[in-house]
Amino acid sequence: MPTSNTPEEAVADPAALLRDMVRIRCVEEELADLYRDEQEMRTPVHFSVGQEAAAVGVCAALREDDLVYTGHRSHAAYLAKGGDLPAMVAELYGKETGCARGRGGSVHLTDRAAGFAGSAAILGEMISVATGAAWALRRQGSRQVVVTFFGDGAAEEGVFHESLNFAAVHRAPVVYVCENNAYSISSPIAARQPADGSVTARARAFGITAERVDGNDVAAVHAAARRAVAACRAGQGPAFLELDTYRWREHVGPGHDTGVDRPREEVESWLERCPVRRAADALRPGTPDVEERLAAWDEEFRDETRLAVAAAKAAPFPAVDRLTDGAYGSPVHAS
């Protein structure tokens, strides 16, 4: 199981962090191959291969009742927060057993039991939703913390600035996590933002405690997340993390980057900074059997994914006469 839900004062076991990253990597690689080869998942997919340290490091600092919201690149955070893998896979196949009952697809995942409050495809949408949820929790006297993941492109939206300003004024317990992978689809950050600007600097302009971290170092991400979450839980208001990372695959779809949208040299330099390999290397001095563990986890999680896929394929599609359940005030019928 993922390492999320650890007590707030606890530091996650480095081996458990590595295991969670391997799980996410295996799940997404298996799904990407099936998506490409079988054409049965009729939903856009945004994989986080190469960015696993961000979701794992942050979610391992949260309690089970803390809430997570994400944008379109949602699988990693969903799994890191403890989301149900078979339900996620079924959702990609559009089945009634999916976590959104087959209505949402890859970009609309939810698991209330795990505290994964939701994801959405509209750029920056969940930044404001998470801010509102955090404000509500503060007004209720709750010690829960809200986290919202988004990319560097979403940080250019007006809702980003409005939300940070509101959260700062009302001391909302929300951690804003920008997974800065340097691209908005195929547009590099240098073509979109001033050379002397940074997302972290923009967050600090609102009086928010902000930190920029190597997003491919899971230990550094986890340490920064623990500081941010602790500050929120103590009533100090919002916090901001900018995690520098890089996606290995296309913006949307299962393919590997071909060097067309991004320089091949750049891609290769980031492949060498693989968060899984870096975590394994850090663990190796005190864990001589780390390679054996990696191989065993790889087999375990690929088998787990294949079982989830088989269950999803065997599950029914939503009934046509119930496709609008839950929409526009329609009643939700019992399954």
pLDDT, position 47: 97
Q: What is the DSSP string of 160-199?
A: HHHHHHHHHHHT--EEEEEEE-SEETTEEGGGTS-TT--H
pLDDT, position 149: 98
User: In the 8-state DSSP scheme, what is residue 102?
Assistant: T
Residue 153 phi, psi dihedral angles, 5° rounding: -65, -40
pLDDT, position 4: 45
pLDDT, position 175: 98
Which residues partner with 183 through β-bridges? 188
- Residue 119: enclosing H or E segment and its boundaries? strand 116-119
pLDDT, position 255: 86
pLDDT, position 117: 97
What are the residue ranges of helices labelled H in 198-289? Answer: 199-204, 218-233, 264-271, 275-283
Which residues partner with 176 through β-bridges? 148, 240
Q: How far apart are CA 220 and CA 155, in angstroms?
A: 22
Is residue 38 packed enough to be buried (19+ CB in 10 Å), middle (13-18) or exposed (0-12)?
Answer: exposed
Considering only CA atoms, which of 271, 280, 313 is closest in space to residue 18? 280
Q: Which residues of the chain have pLDDT under 50?
A: 1, 4-7
pLDDT, position 6: 45
Rounded to 5°, the CA angle 139-133-232 comes to 70
pLDDT, position 9: 59
Q: Would you put residue 184 in left (φ > 0), alpha (ψ -120 to 50) or beta?
A: beta
- Residue 139: enclosing H or E segment and its boundaries? helix 125-139
Considering only CA atoms, which of 49, 70, 68 is closest in space to residue 60? 68
Token output for 319: 């009934």
Tens of pLDDT, residue by residue over 28-64, are: 999 999 999 999 999 999 999 999 999 999 999 999 9
AA letter at 195: A
pLDDT, position 1: 47
Q: Would you put residue 62 in left (φ > 0), alpha (ψ -120 to 50) or beta?
A: beta
For the full predicted model, state whether its pTM sits above 0.85: yes
Tokens 């009729």 sit at which residue? 42
pLDDT, position 129: 98
AA letter at 199: V
- Rg of the chain over Cα atoms, rounded to whole angstroms, equals 19
Average pLDDT over all residues of the chain: 93
Calculate the alpha carbon distances from 151 to 3, 156, 303 in Å. Answer: 23, 9, 31
